[in-house]
Homo-oligomer: A and B are copies of this chain.
Amino acid sequence: MGNKEPQGKLGVMIVGLGAVATTFITGVLRARKNLSNPIGSLTQYDKIRVTENGEEKYLGYKDIIPLSGLDDLVFGAWDIFSDNAFQSAIKAKVLHPEELKTVENELKSIHPMKAVFDNEYVSRLHGDNVKASSNRWDMANQIREDIRNFRKKTGVSRIVVLWTASTEKYLKPDLKIHGEIEFLENAMKADDRMNISPSMCYAYASIAEGCPFIMGAPNTALDIPAIWKFAEKMSVPVAGKDFKTGQTLVKSGLAPIIAMRCLGLSGWFSTNILGNRDGLVLDEPDNFKSKEISKLSTLETILDPKLQPNLYNDYCHEVKINFYPPRNDNKESWDNIDIFGWMGYPMQIKINFLCRDSILAAPLCLDLVLLIDAAQRAGKSGFQKFLGFFFKSPMYDYTKNEIPDNNLYTQYMSLRKTICEMGGYHLTDHC
């Protein structure tokens, strides 16, 4: 409804041409050739039961709202390393080299532009494909120019900017700096490096150019009123933060079981081993803090001590991430959950998830790019709650005492309801 049909190509400009980005791109390129399936993508697979003319039927998302097709995507990227997408994908060791070779030429044609970067925010990485810049405002302007050049060069009609780069060190939002657009712009111009992260420059630049921005890492770039207001003013939707992939995906699905059954919780211990660049960056305590805050928040609103003080008071929730090189991208999580039931008797659940970071993140990239573009065409702007399903830390307005929804099931319902509304359909699923 009011959702305009996509015209022309859709540019996807990715910050960070690493494991996630190259896996996403390769999967799209191979799907175009029918060489592999974009499994895990809701825009490509999920079906919604709707009623049309009194008849029940299942429709895919594309049948409900106009979405760009896989053939319509045109990729660009920034990275602090100069490897092209093929070289980067080989080094990432996520996908079999034979599979990469089937789209070798396409991948090799994607050369990353120089990135804006500040080693203070990601101390473990040292790349040389970095722009010189005089201050944060200059950083943002250079990115804006990159976006305009990309648009010109490729002829795409719309662009989405997607952050798949590293976790920055924790930057706590401060309303005096991040509360209003002018405050933010002033701090950028004053080169306030303490309070302006490079990812904020990308977000600002993207919105300034009218491009939706997606934050896949736990960086707080989008978690500030200045950005929300700017996005609304520019009619740009934004979404974040931190792709919900492995452990937190399962946690946000399992915790509701405990809550629904009114079982008590005394502790939840979560540990992770991973060996990719993400693991290397998070081995630094400052950067881990961003991730930890994001991961810990999951349980709070599902197992709520205020609502159920006899069940969820004072439970111990620990999240650890360990850099363990033998695993590369094949991260693994182990959870121990201590619950109690009837008459207080204790029980335990252990979950061991042998997953793959980029394999789980890639379909989220595709879905978020397609859906945020559709949202923009449908006239939506500011942060998009209906996309919370895809994130560890869904956005919410903390200045208004809003409570974030971390329950995977209600997130899913919210996503589908919004899609139906955008398409003018009525969701008739079970609940």
Chain A positions within 8 Å of B, measured between CB atoms, are 23, 26-27, 30, 36-42, 44-47, 58, 95, 98-99, 249-250, 253-254, 256-257, 260-264, 266-267, 269, 271, 273, 307-308, 310-311, 315-316, 318, 320, 322, 324-327, 332, 334, 336, 338, 340-345, 347-356, 358-360, 362-363, 389, 405, 407-410, 412-414, 417, 429-431
A336-B332, A349-B351, A410-B431 in contact; A40/B262 too (CB < 8 A)? yes
Q: In the complex the two chains form, is B408's CB within 8 Å of A39's CB?
A: no
Contact B262 A343 (CB under 8 A): no
B262 touches A340 (CB 8 A): no
Q: List 17 A-B contacts (CB under 8 A).
A: A36-B344, A37-B310, A37-B344, A38-B343, A39-B342, A40-B341, A42-B261, A253-B253, A267-B326, A269-B322, A273-B336, A316-B326, A326-B338, A334-B336, A350-B354, A352-B352, A410-B429
Are B347 and A355 in contact, with the CB atoms below 8 A?
Answer: yes
Shortest C-beta distance, A45 to chain B (Å), equals 4
Q: Which 8 A-B pairs have the closest CB atoms?
A: A413-B431, A267-B326, A253-B257, A410-B430, A45-B262, A36-B343, A409-B409, A350-B352
A110 vs chain B, min Cβ distance (A): 18
B320 touches A40 (CB 8 A): no
Bound state CA distance, A257 and B389, in angstroms?
11
Known: A342-B27, A342-B38. A260 touches B408 (CB 8 A): yes
Give complex CA distance A405, B355 in Å: 29
